[in-house]
Structure 1
C-alpha cells in the first residue's frame, strides 16, 4: 500500500499553502509537526479529497485519487480539528449516522460502532446526548467515527486536543494497534504524542517538508545545540526569557534544571544533552511561529 505525492501544490492567491511536495507514505504512523500556518491542515485536506490541488497529484497504489473517486474516499478515515456533530444525537446514533454516510451495512455498522465506543471509553455513555459531553469526550467520539469504516488511510488533525494524560495514553495505544494495517497521518502540537507512536516524523515549514525520517535521524541536526544547566530557582524565569528554553525541571525548591537550545554554549556550567523532538520543534518554531 502506497500513498504518493507528486509535486503536490495548493495555492491561495500568491501564497503556497502546500508547495511542490514529493513524498511517499506506506503502512505505519507518521507524525506531522509544524507551526500554525505551515500547511499541515491544507495537506491533510488534500489527502482526504476535501480540497483539490492547484497542481500536482496524489496517487494511491499508483492511481490518481481523482480517478479513483468514491473508491478512494471509502478508504479514508478523517478527524478534522473541529469535527462536526449533532448535539441532540446520542453517541451511538451519531456513529450509526456516520456508518450510513459511509455506506456501511446496518448490522456491521452497529457492531463496529459499539466496539469502537468501548475502545475509546464511551460505551457507558453511548445513549447520552452529545451536547452533554465534555470536550475530551467529544474528541474521543471524533476518533471513533474516523475509524468506523476500518480505513486504510487514517488522517487525524489535532486528535489529542482536550484529552487528559490518561486518555492520551489510551489513544496512543489504540492508534499503535490500528496502524499495523493502514497509513496513519497524525498532526499535533503535543510533540510527546508523536514521539511515542510515530515511526516517521514529517516536519513542515512554509508549505514544504523540512525534515522526514525517524526521530533519531531528524534530531541529529541539532546535536551539540541542546544544553542543560542547574540555576537558582528564583532566577529560572530570567534565564527562560533570555534563552531558548524547552523545559524547566524543579529539583529541590532551590535549584531548577533548564534545558535549552543554543547554537553555542549559553553560559558557564551548561553541559551538552541528547536532543529530542521537542528541542527540534522549539529550534524551528519558538513561540509557535516559523523560524
Structure 2
C-alpha cells in the first residue's frame, strides 16, 4: 500500500511545480517580446504596444523610401525591414521617391518583393517635364475622411534658366499641380516629388528660391499638409508655417549616413512620421496636425 501511494505521488507533480513552470514560461515569453520591441524602437521612443499596431484611430499607414542603387545585400536588408513594418502596421501603399521611375533599381525589386503582400508601390519620375509621370491617389479613411497623395515630376526644376525665364515644362508642372489640388477635397493632402523644393538656409541660390517659391505658394493656398522628397540641407524634417517637409535619406547622400525609410501613420487628427533605419530603429520622428499645428 505504501509503495502504491509513492507511485501515485510521483505520477502527479506538485501543484507548486506546475505553477512555477507556467510562470517561468510566461516570463520567458514576455522577455522575448520585450527584446523585440527594443530592437524596433529605442528606449524612450515607445514600443509596438505603446504606438499600437496598424493605423491608430481609424487612420491609414504607408511607407516612403528614396530610390537609388544599393548593393544587393543592403537592398535586401532594407526591403526585409520594410516588409516587417508593413505587416505590423498594416501598410496600404509604398511611395518610392525615385528619379528614374520604372528604371529605378529599388522600385524594380521592391514592387515585386511586396507583390505577395498586395501592397502597391507608387513612384515619382523625371519625364522631361511631361505630366505623364504624375499621379493622384485617393485613400479612404474612417469617419468619411480622405487622404489625397499627389505625385509630381520635379525633374524640370533642374533645368537652367534661359534668359531669366523658366521653361515651358516647368510652367506645365506648376499648372498641373494647382489644377490637381483644386480638384481634391481630401482632409489630408500630401505631395510627393523627387526634389526638396524648399529654401531653409544660405546654401540655396537666388535661382533656386525663384524656382521653389511658386510651389510653396500653391502648397499654402491649398493647405497641403506635407511634402515628401529626398533629403537636402534642411534635414529629415523641416516645418514651414503649417506645412511639414519630409526628406527621405537616399544612398550616397553626403548629408546623412543613414539608410532607411519612413513609416507614416495618418489619423483623423494628425500624421506621425517616423524615420527608421535598416535595423528597425526609430532615428527621428515628427507629428503634424490636421489644422496646421504640431510639435517636432
| Structure with greater contact order relative to length (CA < 8 Å, sep ≥ 6) | 1
TM-score normalised by the chain length of structure 1: 0.33
Structure with bigger strand share is: 1
Larger Rg: 2
TM-score w.r.t. the length of structure 2 is 0.32
